Amino acid sequence: MGKSLGIFLTGRIATGVIEGQTPCTSVIQYPDDPDDTDSLLDTPLDGLIELVRAQVLRATRESGPVDAVGLAVPGIVRDGVVEDSPNLIQLKGARMVDRMRIALKGIGLVVPVTVLNDADAVAAGVAAKYGRLDKFIRVWTLGYGIGFGRHPYTEGIWEGGHCVVTLDAGEMYCGCGGRGHLEGIMGHRAMRLRFLDMEPEEVFANAKAGDERCVKFVRLWHRSLAAATSNSIHMEGAGRFYYTGFNVRFLDLKLLKHYLQQMIKMSPIQNYVVEAIPMDEDLAVTGAAIAAMHAEGR
Is 156 within the bounds of a domain?
yes
Query: Does 192 share its domain with 105?
Result: no
For residue 96, being part of any structural domain is answered with yes
Domain membership of residue 245 (yes or no) is yes
pLDDT score, position 32: 86
Q: Is residue 23 part of a domain?
A: yes
In a domain? residue 124: no
Residue 297: its pLDDT value, please?
A: 53
Q: How many C-beta atoms lie closer than 10 Å to residue 92's C-beta?
A: 15
Q: How many domains does the chain have?
A: 2
Q: Do 142 and 10 form a contact (C-beta atoms < 8 A)?
A: no
Buried b (16+ CB within 10 A) or exposed e, 224-237: bbbbbbbbbbeeee
Q: Are 19 and 137 in a shared domain?
A: no
Indicate which CATH number applies to the domain containing 211.
Answer: 3.30.420.40
What is residue 295's predicted lDDT score, i.e. its pLDDT?
80
Q: Are residues 139 and 265 in the same domain?
A: yes
Evaluate whether residue 60 is within a structural domain: yes
Does residue 263 sit in the same domain as residue 143? yes
Question: Which of 286, 289, 293, 244 lies closest to 24 in space, CA to CA?
Answer: 286
Domain that holds residue 68: 3-117+280-295
Q: According to the model, what pLDDT value does residue 27 have?
A: 93
Residue 185 and residue 62 in one domain: no
Same domain, 98 and 167: no
Is there a contact between 285 and 17 (Cβ–Cβ < 8 Å)? Answer: no
Kindly state whether residues 270 and 219 are assigned to the same domain.
yes
**Other beta carbons less than 10 A from residue 256's beta carbon:** 20
Same domain, 222 and 93: no
The 8-class DSSP code of residue 164 comes to B
Please answer whether residues 118 and 90 qualify as being in contact, where contact means their C-beta atoms are separated by less than 8 angstroms: no
**In the prediction, which pLDDT does 1 show?**
60
Are 34 and 82 in a shared domain? Answer: yes
pTM for this entry: 0.91
136 & 269 share domain: yes
Mean pLDDT of each 10-residue bin along the chain, 298 residues long: 91 92 90 80 94 96 93 95 94 97 96 96 95 95 95 90 97 96 97 97 98 98 98 97 96 98 98 94 94 74
**Does residue 193 sit in the same domain as residue 287?**
no
